[in-house]
Structure 1
């Protein structure tokens, strides 16, 4: 089970998540309450040991120039596209960069059918809820009973399937029962809008317990 702790927005956040058992640390380069600046992220990463983590840059309908600016300035391992990016947009991006790309699919009935369109241009899928005008980070889960449809499609194309949106220590055990590949968490590991060691510990204890029982 792969863990991505996203929405790191301060040195303290990065210090906490870098010392966790997460596989990925995410930073949001888009209009959001968790938006960060390149110069800040560069400074934070220079002050922590993150060598065992992969760094994910999250964009929402960003220009090609903006994405290239970020990935040439920071040690980015994965690009996560969280907006309405088309297959054509991603093809243009792939011609310019050499990093894996994850595409977010916002849940609605039948949204798993969209995954076929992206099967040849992305390296993984993240399934998230969309609340109002927010592209993510709402803290609300989608209808998890639909997860098997997304997992089936993702695995049909040999792509990993991550689940995001409203995942917390209180509900993660339910989510783990769906045989997903990874979990993308932001607000669920926060207390008073800061990444929280205790909530992270609770998440990881339940994930490791699930892994041992498999």
Structure 2
């Protein structure tokens, strides 16, 4: 793993697992604040955040806390940050550049998610909950898609549509998104169907970070053995 490669473990729900992440090569942990079986309330996220603030990566660096939200109104996000002063809000819906900029004014970093359907070769790009059809050549390329968000976000994450599905999209899309993100001065994280058995192949596409959730669970609960195996596989690649 290069120094630039981040690892985010998403969907955490209990302090015990968070405590066991200390010393691992993890850069971010994520709390799902949107409707999901992994959802936590802002108050619960605030309690979990106390444990996160004690975490250090394998390099002794603080671990950032990310809150995942979908089309949440600004007032709701203000309330979230009052209960849980997160480092990053990950916007997983149809948020506009103007809205993302307003969120940044709350004093938090903003990551915007752009989703691709499972197995998508790029013919249909999905942003938030809306599909942009390629009929009559209308699909925007990654740079055209991301460019309006320049200055309004701090990071880009591409994921399989629906999020938390455990299914990958076509990774051949990654280089174009990485190039577009870097042209705008933004890091690119990749999520969707990642696990210890395939992440080494993904890293060949050189994303800036990877985001894992469902594959490091056993019966729907985060499994520290699986988390460690994933992180070690990334670190060794």
Decide whether the 8 Å contact of 1:17 with 1:25 is kept in 2.
no
Report the equivalent of 1:92. Answer: 102
Secondary structure of 1:84 counterpart: coil
Report the equivalent of 1:82. Answer: 92
Indicate yes or no: 2:156 matched with 1:125.
yes
Decide whether the 8 Å contact of 2:33 with 2:68 is kept in 1.
yes
Indicate yes or no: 2:11 matched with 1:7.
yes
Report the equivalent of 1:103. Answer: 112
**C-alpha distance in structure 2 between counterparts of 1:47 and 1:123, whole Å:** 24
**C-alpha distance in structure 2 between counterparts of 1:162 and 1:87, whole Å:** 19
Q: Cα offset for 1:47?
A: 4.8
* TM-score, normalised via structure 1 length: 0.88
Distance 1:37 1:17, change over 3 A: farther
Query: Residue 177 of structure 2: which of 150, 164, 180 is its match?
Result: 150
Secondary structure of 2:193 counterpart: coil
Report the equivalent of 2:24. Answer: 20
**C-alpha distance in structure 2 between counterparts of 1:47 and 1:122, whole Å:** 27
Alignment deviations for residues 62-109 of structure 1 (CA, whole Å, 9 cap, x no partner): 0101111111222311111011111122233233x1211100011252
- Higher helix proportion (structure 1 or 2): 1
Distance 1:46 1:122, change over 3 A: closer
Distance 1:93 1:45, change over 3 A: closer
Unaligned runs of 5+ in 2: 57-61, 126-141
